[in-house]
């Protein structure tokens, strides 16, 4: 299976390798937090996720727990964390109302619901930011609402500056800011790459925020509808991404914690074996990930995460053999 | 300086050279009012002085956010007689005789009063309550009566709620009569929860406001920030002629710091950046030792001036009114001497954290780390089980996808991409205009204006609102500043809509029944336009329709006495208009009359005169009709209207029905860059 955008793959017929996708990527603690939250044990859930600000955990919570449960949590235990998560959940709900169709294909009746929900999220998040002035939590989803409500690049930059002041190189915030700077959201390729390279050069070596550099390359090739293999085989692209990935791999543990896994997945998509260095890099990336495939950014290419990940792994590792 | 009690009032006095000065202050101000009472303190202040007339000595009254003061300057006996007279006027209730007179004076004063940075920003920070009321028109003048005024005066203009100071020993002959009521200890509520610092586009200069706790350090920080702004904007960059700084005491605890820079709009963004940089630099690094020393030296010099004692008495009286610890001049001097760069830096930090940065409308949005300002806690009708109505004001709005939604908790105007909603709560106030429109104002100061003729079955919405909102929170105001626009078909729908008997699908106006006339005034009145012109042409058209018996039978039945008085010439059209607005919102005129009015009032092209404008000019003998008064040109214009009415062919039932019931095109998808996120 090749990485091709928007191409629906045939159902597995035995020819495609696949993996069992674990939404919690082996993180039992987070699984416990979600279960506790769903059962109404807010305190227990909060304790479990207390020091885990990574977007992976946020999106797991957001995507695994019904809105009503988050609403109940926020009502019972209003805090920067619970209310910001509620805001983030409303952002998710807004996109469910809108659907992921292209703008011109969205049913007009859905637009009002989409925008109302985003405004609801924006209202809550602004209130949280005004009440807990030092809390970084509301600022990352406020970048999402800023984008959805089309508030513009200046507003996005201002929000990111506020987030950066409160939590430097917040992974979720950096990822959202990158989206805001994309061409499809009114930005430009230049602005997107400028931001991604700034993060890559200034964030700590083990920062999960560094995923923005491979994601920027992915956004570029999708936007320009380029061939994945040809794009990632270009020497200057290889030079930039391989260097960045190697620095990241050096800085993180041999068995990386869940927080680092999304960035590993992003680097892996970009890692085409074209020589011995990239062949070793691809092998190392797949080794560190194991079976912990994350929906983003694989879902930019295919909806079946298990198949696209496993197929890509087989192909890339086979290709790598030629150089080793 | 002496402190004691004079005529049962807490008092301060000192021996200051020059004429005698005295000030009688009360702890009541604009922020003690409700929106429905807005202006009542100002009215009381005017009424207390309304019997004084012209005098040789100087005097004045002022109404602030929490303090109302009467100041007088002259010979000691003049000071004594002035204060005695005004308190006697208050206590006796004699002032109530001048209520209508002063109400008119205040309405005129209100129209000359422009909004400024301070009032606008207080409105944003506090909404339609407490200090935010400073930014609102004196709407209470439209509804408060003698009982309200008497009750307000008796509650607040009391011995215990007053402080008096003199620049001489208390003069002979004082006889101060006030009410017996407890001291006002009300604490204004906190600001609304809004995300600050933030920037906002406003019709005004580049400016910054910030909230601080009152202290000598706060006053120093304000002055030092202002000094940097002046240096950078005037002396160094030449972007502004007179950058200004202000420190407004809001109450006993809080003050609002303001810095603003005049100058051309194209330099607005640069000026705003300079103001922000001044705040930010002092908040980050504090002032230099030299800056602070210069400030302290300036303060020391002003303390040595001959009138320093008056300033000290003002400050001490303010503390006494707000039940705060009273500091002597020596104590204040010691506090100023003890100000450090660190204490100034802390205050500047508070200003930065609470800053609202204003850019002129023409200026580009800033690209700094300031987020855009948004109203506090914007409600939404989403999921509120709201009833929905579609706009049919004109075809353009249909395609805009606008919808009005209302439930018992919220009224929302929803459109793509933004919606606007107001909350319905026990604090919500409604302004009822004479043309049947309603402005809903919630506690946060959000306003939504509803025109019954702009929505399907709009009369039902207005009737529902009138039932939902208690009468004491409905303020009736005659005119509403909008002008009709659009195509001929849209214009008819601008001025006329379905009555309660209407069916949305009916095409025959015979079945529609009488319809609403939606009148208006011109949006921008040129300078020098007489007062009566404000009530035109809505009042005139209603008057003419009533005169020609083209109003509905319900209209005739509901206010027969008013109509009779009007037809006998005892009431001007503007009064009829106001009474009609108070009494009814539906079923006003016959469809063909509404069609005639629409045709008459809407210019055939943008910026061209309407037929009505032409008639006014004609009636004025070719001169500009703006100079005419209501009394002068009413008969002449009505005669011309009669002539037009007699000659113009009626459009016919079918044509009117077609105009009133346009086909609603389907909603197109708005252009958007929206793409799915992963």
pTM of the model: 0.80
Helix axes B488-495, B591-601, angle to 10 degrees: 120
- DSSP assignment of B302-369 equals HHHSTTHHHHHHHHHHHHHHTTPPP--HHHHHHHHHT--HHHHHHHHHHHHHT-EEEEETTSPPP-SS
Decide if A101 and B676 are in contact by the 8 Å CB cutoff: yes
Decide if A100 and B676 are in contact by the 8 Å CB cutoff: yes
B265 to chain A, closest Cα gap in Å: 20
Give the residue from chain A lying closest to B676, CA to CA.
A100
Q: Which residues of A touch B404 (CB under 8 A)?
A: none
Whole-complex ipTM: 0.80
3-state helix, strand, coil in chain A (%, to 5): 70, 0, 30
Give the residue from chain B lying closest to A178, CA to CA.
B677
pLDDT at B602: 67
Decide if A120 and B380 are in contact by the 8 Å CB cutoff: yes
Q: Is B335:B177 a contact under the CB 8 Å cutoff?
A: no
d(C-alpha B582, C-alpha B577), whole Å: 9
Give the residue from chain B lying closest to A147, CA to CA.
B674
Q: Which two tokens stand for residue A262?
A: 């999304």
Instruction: Say if B329 is an interface residue toward chain A (CB within 8 Å).
Output: no
- Nearest alpha-carbon partner for B515 in B565, B550, B490: B550
B357 to chain A, closest Cα gap in Å: 14
- Say which of B193, B371, B414 has its CB closest to residue A112: B414
Instruction: Say if A67 is an interface residue toward chain B (CB within 8 Å).
Output: no
pLDDT in tens, A264-283: 999 999 999 999 999 999 99
B380 to chain A, closest Cα gap in Å: 7
Decide if B418 and A115 are in contact by the 8 Å CB cutoff: yes
Instruction: Say if A112 is an interface residue toward chain B (CB within 8 Å).
Output: yes
d(C-alpha B656, C-alpha B489), whole Å: 9
d(C-alpha B156, C-alpha B154), whole Å: 6
Instruction: Say if B366 is an interface residue toward chain A (CB within 8 Å).
Output: yes
| Statement: residue A47 has pLDDT above 60 | yes
B376 to chain A, closest Cα gap in Å: 8
**What's phi and psi for B214, nearest 5 deg?**
-65, 130
A322 to chain B, closest Cα gap in Å: 34
B195 to chain A, closest Cα gap in Å: 4
- DSSP assignment of B381-450 equals -TTS--EEEEB-S-HHHHHTT-EEEE-SSEEEEE-SS-EEEEE-STT-EEEEETTS-EEEE-TT--EEEE
B374 to chain A, closest Cα gap in Å: 9
Decide if A103 and B374 are in contact by the 8 Å CB cutoff: no
Q: Which residues of B touch A130 (CB under 8 A)?
A: 193-196
Instruction: Quote the percentage of chain A above a pLDDT of 70.
Output: 93
d(C-alpha B223, C-alpha B232), whole Å: 14
pLDDT at A162: 95
**What's phi and psi for B619, nearest 5 deg?**
-65, -25
Q: Which two tokens stand for residue A269?
A: 């998509």
Q: Which two tokens stand for residue B105?
A: 């004076």
Q: Which of residues 491-530 of B touch A (CB under 8 A)?
A: none
- Say which of B193, B371, B414 has its CB closest to residue A159: B371
Q: Is A125:A143 a contact under the CB 8 Å cutoff?
A: no
Q: Which residues pair with A161 in a beta bridge?
A: none
Which of B404, B419, B664, B674 should we substitute to test contact with A (largest number of A Cβ atoms within 10 Å)?
A: B674
Cβ burial B319-347 (10 Å sphere, 16+ → b, else e): bbbbeeeebebeebbeebeebebebbbbb
pLDDT at B551: 78
- Nearest alpha-carbon partner for B270 in B242, B238, B245, B246: B238
d(C-alpha B149, C-alpha B46), whole Å: 12
Mean pLDDT of A164-180: 94
Which of A116, A120, A146 should we substitute to test contact with B (largest number of B Cβ atoms within 10 Å)?
A: A116
| Statement: residue A77 has pLDDT above 80 | yes
Decide if B669 and A108 are in contact by the 8 Å CB cutoff: yes
| A111-125, A183-197, B631-645: the lowest-pLDDT one | B631-645
Q: Is B348:B37 a contact under the CB 8 Å cutoff?
A: no
Instruction: Say if B168 is an interface residue toward chain A (CB within 8 Å).
Output: no
- Nearest alpha-carbon partner for A298 in A25, A70, A15: A25
Roughly how many angstroms between the first and final C-alpha of chain A, as a whole number? 22
Decide if B675 and A113 are in contact by the 8 Å CB cutoff: no
Q: Which residues of B touch A106 (CB under 8 A)?
A: 669, 674
Residues of chain B short of pLDDT 70, as ranges, are: 114, 377-386, 388-402, 415-419, 434-435, 453-454, 456-457, 478-538, 554, 581-591, 602-603, 605-607, 622-634, 653-654, 656-678
Q: Which residue has the higher pLDDT, B303 or A167?
A: A167
Q: Is B411:B440 a contact under the CB 8 Å cutoff?
A: yes
Instruction: Say if A207 is an interface residue toward chain B (CB within 8 Å).
Output: no
Peptide bond into B197 cis (omega under 30): yes
Decide if A98 and B674 are in contact by the 8 Å CB cutoff: yes
A119 to chain B, closest Cα gap in Å: 8
B351 to chain A, closest Cα gap in Å: 14
| Statement: residue A111 has pLDDT above 70 | yes
Instruction: Say if B675 is an interface residue toward chain A (CB within 8 Å).
Output: yes
pLDDT at B229: 95
Tell me whether residue B643 is exposed, middle or buried, using C-beta atoms within 10 angstroms of its C-beta: 0 to 12, 13 to 18, 19 or more: exposed
- Nearest alpha-carbon partner for B500 in B432, B439, B552: B552
d(C-alpha B479, C-alpha B529), whole Å: 16
Q: Which residues of B touch A151 (CB under 8 A)?
A: 372
Decide if A111 and B193 are in contact by the 8 Å CB cutoff: no
**What's phi and psi for B308, nearest 5 deg?**
-60, -30
Mean pLDDT of A240-255: 96
Q: Which of residues 216-255 of A touch B (CB under 8 A)?
A: none
Give the residue from chain B lying closest to A186, CA to CA.
B673
Size of interface A-B (CB pairs under 8 A): 110
- DSSP assignment of B159-201 equals STTEEEEESSSPPTT-----B------PPPPPPP----SEEEE
Q: How far is CA A76 from its chain centroid? A: 29
d(C-alpha B376, C-alpha B356), whole Å: 13
Instruction: Say if B196 is an interface residue toward chain A (CB within 8 Å).
Output: yes
Cβ burial B603-628 (10 Å sphere, 16+ → b, else e): beeeeeebbbbebbbebbeeeebbeb
Q: Please give the mean pLDDT across all residues of chain A.
A: 87
Instruction: Say if A158 is an interface residue toward chain B (CB within 8 Å).
Output: yes
Q: Are strands B371-372 and B198-202 parallel, antiparallel or unpaired?
A: parallel
Q: Which residues of B touch A296 (CB under 8 A)?
A: 678
Query: Alpha helix (H) ranges present in A99-138?
Result: 108-131
- Nearest alpha-carbon partner for B403 in A7, A112, A319: A112
Q: Maximum distance among all alpha carbons in chain B?
A: 85
HSE value, Cβ hemisphere, 13 Å, CA-based, for B353: 16
Decide if B403 and A112 are in contact by the 8 Å CB cutoff: yes
Scanning the structure block, which residue is given the tokens 């005892």?
B570
Q: Which residues of A touch B674 (CB under 8 A)?
A: 98, 103, 106, 148, 150
Instruction: Say if B419 is an interface residue toward chain A (CB within 8 Å).
Output: yes
Q: Which of residues 555-614 of B touch A (CB under 8 A)?
A: none
Instruction: Say if B417 is an interface residue toward chain A (CB within 8 Å).
Output: yes
Decide if B417 and A150 are in contact by the 8 Å CB cutoff: yes
pLDDT at A5: 47
In chain B, count H helices and then E strands.
23, 22
**Cβ neighbours of residue A131 closer than 8 Å, sequence gap 6 or more:** A80, B193
Q: Which residues of B touch A157 (CB under 8 A)?
A: 367, 369
d(C-alpha B542, C-alpha B550), whole Å: 9
Q: How far is CA B582 from its chain centroid? A: 21
Decide if B194 and A126 are in contact by the 8 Å CB cutoff: yes
d(C-alpha B37, C-alpha B30), whole Å: 9
Decide if B380 and A152 are in contact by the 8 Å CB cutoff: no
Decide if B370 and A296 are in contact by the 8 Å CB cutoff: no
- DSSP assignment of B610-623 equals PHHHHHHHHHTTTS
- Say which of A111, A151, A185 has its CB closest to residue B670: A111
- Nearest alpha-carbon partner for B277 in B177, B186, B348: B348
Mean pLDDT of A246-269: 94
């Amino acid at each position: 299976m090749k990485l091709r955008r928007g191409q629906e793959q045939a159902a597995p017929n035995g020819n495609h390798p696949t993996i069992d996708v674990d939404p919690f990527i082996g993180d039992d603690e987070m699984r416990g937090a979600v279960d506790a939250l769903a059962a109404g044990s807010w305190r227990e859930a909060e304790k479990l996720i207390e020091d885990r600000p990574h977007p992976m955990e946020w999106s797991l919570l957001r995507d695994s727990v019904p809105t009503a449960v988050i609403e109940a949590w926020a009502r019972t235990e209003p805090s920067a964390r619970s209310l910001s998560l509620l805001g983030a959940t409303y952002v998710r709900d807004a996109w469910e109302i809108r659907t992921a169709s292209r703008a011109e294909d969205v049913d007009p009746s859905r637009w009002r619901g989409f925008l109302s929900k985003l405004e609801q999220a924006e209202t809550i998040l602004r209130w949280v930011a005004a009440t807990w002035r030092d809390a970084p939590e509301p600022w990352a989803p406020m970048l999402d609402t800023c984008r959805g409500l089309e508030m513009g690049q200046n507003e996005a930059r201002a929000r990111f500056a506020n987030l950066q002041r409160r939590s430097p190189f917040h992974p979720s915030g950096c990822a959202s800011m990158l989206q805001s700077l994309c061409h499809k959201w009114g930005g430009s390729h230049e602005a997107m790459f400028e931001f991604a390279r700034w993060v890559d050069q200034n964030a700590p070596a083990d920062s999960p925020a560094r995923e923005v550099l491979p994601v920027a390359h992915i956004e570029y090739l999708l936007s320009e509808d380029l061939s994945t293999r040809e794009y990632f085989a270009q020497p200057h692209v290889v030079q930039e991404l391989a260097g960045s990935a190697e620095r990241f791999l050096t800085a993180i543990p041999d068995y990386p914690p869940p927080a680092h896994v999304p960035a590993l997945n992003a680097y892996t998509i970009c890692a085409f074996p074209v020589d011995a260095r990239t062949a070793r890099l691809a092998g190392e990336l797949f080794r560190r990930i194991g079976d912990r495939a994350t929906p983003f950014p694989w879902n930019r290419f295919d909806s079946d995460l298990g198949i696209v990940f496993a197929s890509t792994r087989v192909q890339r590792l086979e290709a790598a053999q030629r150089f080793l | 300086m002496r402190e004691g009690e004079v005529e049962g009032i807490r008092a301060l006095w000192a021996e200051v050279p020059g004429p005698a000065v005295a000030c009688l202050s009360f702890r009541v101000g604009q922020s003690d009012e409700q929106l429905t009472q807005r202006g009542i303190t100002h009215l009381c202040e005017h009424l207390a002085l309304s019997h004084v007339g012209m005098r040789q000595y100087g005097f004045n009254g002022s109404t602030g956010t929490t303090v109302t003061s009467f100041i007088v300057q002259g010979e000691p006996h003049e000071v004594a007689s002035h204060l005695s007279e005004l308190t006697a006027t208050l206590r006796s209730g004699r002032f109530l005789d001048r209520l209508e007179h002063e109400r008119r004076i205040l309405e005129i004063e209100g129209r000359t009063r422009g909004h400024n940075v301070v009032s606008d920003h207080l409105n944003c920070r506090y909404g339609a309550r407490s200090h935010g009321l400073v930014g609102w028109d004196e709407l209470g003048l439209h509804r408060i009566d003698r009982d309200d005024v008497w009750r307000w005066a008796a509650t607040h203009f009391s011995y215990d709620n007053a402080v008096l100071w003199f620049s001489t020993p208390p003069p002979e002959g004082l006889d101060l009569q006030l009410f017996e009521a407890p001291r006002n200890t009300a604490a204004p509520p906190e600001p609304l929860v809004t995300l600050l610092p933030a920037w906002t586009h406003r019709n005004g200069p580049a400016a910054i406001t910030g909230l601080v706790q009152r202290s000598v350090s706060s006053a120093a920080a304000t002055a030092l920030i202002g000094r940097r702004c002046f240096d950078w904007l005037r002396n160094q960059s030449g972007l502004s002629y007179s950058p200004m700084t202000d420190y407004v005491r809001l109450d006993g605890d809080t003050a609002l710091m303001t810095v603003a820079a005049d100058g051309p709009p194209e330099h607005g963004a640069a000026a705003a950046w300079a103001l922000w940089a001044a705040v930010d630099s002092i908040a980050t690094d504090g002032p230099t030792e030299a800056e602070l020393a210069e400030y302290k030296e300036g303060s020391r010099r002003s303390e040595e001036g001959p009138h320093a004692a008056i300033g000290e008495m003002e400050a001490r009286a303010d503390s006494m009114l707000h039940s705060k610890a009273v500091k002597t001049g020596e104590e204040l001097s010691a506090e100023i001497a003890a100000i450090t760069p660190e204490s100034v830096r802390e205050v500047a930090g508070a200003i930065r954290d609470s800053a609202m940065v204003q850019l002129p409308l023409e200026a580009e949005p800033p690209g700094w780390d300031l987020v855009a300002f948004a109203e506090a806690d914007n409600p939404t009708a989403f999921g509120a089980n709201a009833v929905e109505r579609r706009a049919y004001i004109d075809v353009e709005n249909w395609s805009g996808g606008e919808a009005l939604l209302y439930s018992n908790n919220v009224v929302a105007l929803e459109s793509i991409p933004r919606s606007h909603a107001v909350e319905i709560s026990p604090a919500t106030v409604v302004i009822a205009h004479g043309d049947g429109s309603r402005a809903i104002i919630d506690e946060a100061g959000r306003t939504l204006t509803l025109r019954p003729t702009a929505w399907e079955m709009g009369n039902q919405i207005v009737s529902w609102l009138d039932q939902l909102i208690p009468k004491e929170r409905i303020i009736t105001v005659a005119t509403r500043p909008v002008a009709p626009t659009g195509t001929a078909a849209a214009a008819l729908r601008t001025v006329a809509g379905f009555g309660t008997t209407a069916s949305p699908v009916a095409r025959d106006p015979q079945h529609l029944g009488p319809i609403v006339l939606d009148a208006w005034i011109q949006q921008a009145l040129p300078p020098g336009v007489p007062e009566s012109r404000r009530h035109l042409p809505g009042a005139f058209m209603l008057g003419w329709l009533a005169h020609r018996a083209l109003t509905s039978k319900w209209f005739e039945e509901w206010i027969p006495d008013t109509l009779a008085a009007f037809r006998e010439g005892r009431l001007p059209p503007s009064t009829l208009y106001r009474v009609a607005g108070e009494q009814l919102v539906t079923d006003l005129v016959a469809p063909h009359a509404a069609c005639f009015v629409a045709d008459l009032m809407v210019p055939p092209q943008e910026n061209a005169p309407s037929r009505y404008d032409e008639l006014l000019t004609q009636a004025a003998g070719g001169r500009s009709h703006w100079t005419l008064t209501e009394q002068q040109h009413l008969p002449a214009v009505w005669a011309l209207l009669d002539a037009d009415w007699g000659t113009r062919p009626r459009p016919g039932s079918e044509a009117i029905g077609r105009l009133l019931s346009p086909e609603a095109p389907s909603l197109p998808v708005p252009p958007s860059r929206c793409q799915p996120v992963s």
